[in-house]
Amino acid sequence: MNFSSVRYDSNAIFVGPHNLARSQSHAHVFPHNQPQLRRNFIDFKRFDVVCALAKTTSRVNQSDSELNRIESLSQVSGVLGCQWGDEGKGKLVDILAKHFDIVARCQGGSNAGHTIYNSEGKKFALHLVPSGILNDETVCVIGNGVVVHLPGFFKEIDGLESNGVSCKGRILVSDRAHLLFDFHQEVDGLREAELSKSFIGTTRRGIGPCYSSKVIRNGIRVSDLRHMDTFPQKLDLLLSDAASRFQGFNYGPDMLRQEVERYTRFAERLEPYITDTVHFMNDALSRKKKILVEGGQATMLDVDFGTYPFVTSSSPSAGGICTGLGIAPRVVGDLVGVVKAYTTRVGSGPFPTEILGKGGDLLRFAGQEFGTTTGRPRRCGWLDIVALKYCCQINGFSSLNLTKLDVLSELPEIQLGVSYKQIDGISIQSFPADLRALEQIKVEYEVLPGWQCDISSIRKYDKLPKAARQYVERIEELVGVPIHYIGIGPGRDALIYK
């Protein structure tokens, strides 16, 4: 991909949110294309042995410095997104997982798409199952804060098993997690159609409607599958509520009967996975097991801290770890923020550093920026330092993982969005909550030289071109958080430890 013919304007002004008014005078710069826990479920004596063996085996092909970096991570560590998702969290989780006993999801649902590769280079697209599943001795937990679509869950397990990845006894699903039904997905689409030009741009996976059911307290939890005598009445209440709200939602007795029959079969198949994960997690903590939390989505999509209402319906920031797993804040230690070397966003909403037109298209194809879950093209832009600093403040990251640095390799120059100003020139100190303010701000850019050579085979930081190192170190300087991991390709080994 040749970027050399593209010229980027270092004085470019912000061109507003995706569905809000844009500055037409700068459109040429950035035009857009648009079972209750069984005490013997885990044999902890065997668990201790296999985890010790797995950790010993994982030392192969890793230097002492790399191992020290990973093994110094705290008992409970987390990997969270710093932008609008799609930063490459799954790869880091997969790499770190072999040094942890448990990998846990705490929020979101099948709208989280993580693409990872096994040791043979085979590609896996995961949605509900934690990315630690490719490491044979890792136990994967789907916590109470996750919304679970059972058809998708079993499809994912069948796909893993058919590719030689054993899931038996390795995945635990919280009995407190809420069930996401197909009708939630239908309602998601109806809601987006209702919003018309102000649509959120959801994945239409039913995440928002399922969390809505949870919050208004008529949702159905995994534990309810153990009481099929009352399950039909609860499901009828949910379906009747949707039918009363949306004229396009057709509900009748046949739908209820079919769904009850379907979920009776699901209940039988899910039973071996159902666990009191709150007890399991806290028991594991008392046994000094190491736990890695895998975040879905990212902080800029957090329902409280993101670009509301263009956000997800859960808390993918640090606070979601405790509420989504039932562990105390005091046990949470190192948090690694994952940030792409540039910025992408899927769906509607503000995107201050977005590159529109040819520049955005080139970056999109060079980075293969298409959604793992939906296949939708991602909007692309320069790295937004203001947003990144905001995310670091909210989460208290101990380090960062900078991903896809290799994608920038052919650029003649690279820009960093280092500050925001209002139209009157007054500086904005943090990422604003007001969408109207975001529509009107001007982004001030800092231009850095490109390195214009392939870095995908480099494995040592000091072997990177000087310009690449300058870019990494300038980000560290501006944000105030060290970058310990640098991604330079999709494969497991395409990672530089700094």
Catalytic residue among 18, 214, 289, 389: 214
| C-alpha pair distances (Å), 245 with each of 180, 248, 290, 313 | 18, 9, 45, 19
193 marked among binding-site residues? no
Catalytic residue among 18, 98, 99, 114: 114
357 marked among binding-site residues? no
454 marked among binding-site residues? no
Transcribe 323-375 into DSSP letters: HHHT--GGG---EEEEEESSEEE-SSS--TTBPPTHHHHHHHHHTT-B-TTT-
299 marked among binding-site residues? no
With beta carbons less than 8 A apart as the criterion, state whether 415 and 446 touch.
yes
Amino acid at 264: T
404 marked among binding-site residues? yes
89 marked among binding-site residues? yes
85 marked among binding-site residues? yes
487 marked among binding-site residues? yes
Catalytic site includes residue 114: yes
297 marked among binding-site residues? yes
With beta carbons less than 8 A apart as the criterion, state whether 175 and 223 touch.
yes
| C-alpha pair distances (Å), 180 with each of 5, 107, 187, 208, 250 | 48, 13, 11, 10, 18
Catalytic residue among 18, 86, 340, 484: 86
Q: Which residues does 113 contact at the CB level (< 8 Å), separation at least 6?
A: 86, 125, 126, 127, 371, 372, 373, 374
236 marked among binding-site residues? no
With beta carbons less than 8 A apart as the criterion, state whether 140 and 170 touch.
yes
90 marked among binding-site residues? yes
With beta carbons less than 8 A apart as the criterion, state whether 133 and 170 touch.
yes
466 marked among binding-site residues? no
Residue 376 φ/ψ, nearest 5 degrees: -70, 140
Q: Which residues, listed in sequence order, are joined to residue 317 by a DSSP beta bridge?
A: none
How many C-beta atoms surround the C-beta of residue 37 within 10 A? 17
Helices marked H in 32-149 — which ranges?
Answer: 44-58, 64-71, 89-97
374 marked among binding-site residues? yes
How many C-beta atoms surround the C-beta of residue 222 within 10 A? 24
Catalytic site includes residue 358: no
113 marked among binding-site residues? yes
376 marked among binding-site residues? yes
115 marked among binding-site residues? yes
Residue numbers annotated as active site: 86, 114, 214
Binding residues for Mg(2+): 86, 113
Binding residues for substrate: 372-378
Binding residues: 85-91, 111-115, 203, 217, 297, 312, 372-378, 404-406, 487-489
